Amino acid sequence: MNARWLIAAAILGGSFGVAYWGGLYARKWRQPSDQAMVEGLMIPAANLDIGKVWEEKEFVWSLPIRNLSGDTIEIRKFISSCGCTAIKPAKLSIQPGELAIVELTIDLTQRSFAEEGLALRPFGISIHPITSRSRPGGPGWQIHGTVHSRATLDAKSVHFGEEPVRGQPALKRRVLATVHVPCQDLQATVNPLVATASVERRKDDPSRFEITIAVNPDMPPGKFQTNAQISVVTSSGERELAFRLPIAGEMQPEVRLLPARVLLPPTPVGATAEAIVTLQGSPEVKVALDHIEIGDPGLRVEPAVVEGIPSGRAYRLLQQVAKEGEQTNTVQFFYRKPGQKVIKVAVEVCFRGESVKKTAAKATKGE
């Protein structure tokens, strides 16, 4: 009986000893509540909370990183959970006990569809330092806070697609803005070479404004992109940038040939493939064909008659195939407007030449 008690006491004492020393070990290495440790690198928890900040495109935040290990730690790069973040320096070396400052530049204007229209929304990203001791899927620092918007829009951007046509009435798009702070007015500015922006306050709700974006019809043909700067004029008269509204699209020429890229069917060598292209443009635009330039003698262009298309605005492209394989040619049409310079419109012709034997084999197999 005594022996049993002695054994039990020994086991109990050993358990208390393990718990005691384990507790000491845990207390020694436990991460304090006011610190965030990753791979031997520590950032005070207070520096991971950006607090409540105004929405802006380039919000700058500094992270003090201290090396609490006994070795030099090489940070090869940083990985962010959000592409909205730029990190400088991109890599660095931190000596034992040394403190290094890393600067984040965060685009706080990015938001999910679920966050559209919210004046106040939570923000959070994770930053992972990649070192020689890093493990896949290892821990990172969680940076969080709350973003307050002076104003919100019912659209993330304005895209005109391929609808704008040079010389035609300006194409317009409207966006509704809601201001969440006391304000005198809402102002919008944009590059006048690309577009104009006008703002009208709604009478039924003074916190809402209709922003009208109109494309400059005098822009040359091609893709365009810019930003409208939307600012809130506060009750004290100060002008605060609320957000940037991306504007993009592609200006079409006054006249264009459709399709601009012709895809001909696979054609046996020695045969001719053909397609029809038509000149598109407003009836008010008076143009006359000046001349046509073709780089390949195997490609011919002749007038075509298409029902519903005015005379002189339809063309038949005839491509004689001289060799096998994928090939591309270009036809350039030059039109002249009265008293103006010549307008060049290009059409790309894509085709594939096939051997006569291969074509015959396909036909036989199809039969």
pLDDT digits over 211-245, tens only?
999 999 999 989 999 999 999 998 888 888 888 89
CATH T-level assignment (fold) for domain 152-251? Immunoglobulin-like (2.60.40)
User: What is the percent of the chain with per-residue pLDDT over 70, rounded to a whole number?
Assistant: 86
CATH code for the part of the protein at 255-358 = 2.60.40.10
| Structural tokens at position 133 | 């001791």
Higher pLDDT, 21 or 339: 339
Higher pLDDT, 227 or 342: 227
Q: From CA 126, how far away is CA 2, in angstroms rounded?
A: 60
- What is the mean pLDDT of the segment spanning 107-125? 83
Query: Which among 4-8, 108-112, 243-247 has the top mean pLDDT?
Result: 243-247
Q: 3-class SS at 13?
A: helix
Higher pLDDT, 334 or 57: 334
pLDDT at res. 247: 96
pLDDT at res. 359: 58
CATH T-level assignment (fold) for domain 35-149? Immunoglobulin-like (2.60.40)
Mean pLDDT of the chain: 84
264: phi then psi, degrees, rounded to nearest 5: -85, 150
Residue entry with tokens 């049993």: 4
Q: From CA 16, how far away is CA 29, in angstroms rounded?
A: 20
Q: Is the pLDDT of residue 210 over 50?
A: yes
φ/ψ region of 40 (left if φ > 0, alpha if ψ in -120 to 50, else beta) reads left
Q: Are 49 and 145 in contact (CB under 8 A)?
A: yes
| Structural tokens at position 130 | 């990649």
| Structural tokens at position 186 | 């809402």
Q: Are 96 and 67 in contact (CB under 8 A)?
A: yes
Q: Is the pLDDT of residue 320 over 80?
A: yes
CA angle 236, 239, 242 (to 5 degrees): 120
- What is the mean pLDDT of the segment spanning 5-15? 43
Answering whether pTM is above 0.75, one says: no
Boundaries of every domain in the chain: 35-149, 152-251, 255-358
Q: Is the pLDDT of residue 313 over 80?
A: yes
Q: Are 292 and 279 in contact (CB under 8 A)?
A: no
Q: Are 207 and 189 in contact (CB under 8 A)?
A: no
Candidate from 29-33, 189-193, 245-249, 326-330 with smallest mean pLDDT: 29-33
Cα 148 to the chain's mean position, in Å? Answer: 23
Distances (CA, A) of 135 to 84, 131, 259: 24, 9, 53
